[in-house]
Amino acid sequence: MKEVDAITKVYDYLLWLIPKLEKFPRSQKFLLADRMGNLGAERGLA
């Protein structure tokens, strides 16, 4: 049961994070959004 809760929380977090990253300015989007997205995914999987 705990695994399902963790997966749901990670999914919800990524749904919240991705639109935020898409709002970055084009000149900064790749570097910052990529790093933050990777960090978010790593924290979600840890």
pLDDT computed for residue 45 by the predictor: 56
pLDDT computed for residue 21 by the predictor: 77
Alpha-carbon distances, residue 20 vs 23, 25, 39 (angstroms): 6, 11, 14
Could you report the per-residue pLDDT of 1-46, keeping only the tens digit for each? 577 888 898 889 888 888 887 887 877 777 777 777 777 666 665 5
- Report yes or no on whether pTM surpasses 0.85: no
Q: Residue 4 CA to chain centroid, in angstroms? A: 18
Domain chopping of the chain, boundaries: 7-45
Amino acid at 31: L
Longest dimension (CA), the chain: 43
Give the C-alpha separation, 1 to 5, whole Å.
Answer: 7
Q: Residue 15 CA to chain centroid, in angstroms? A: 7
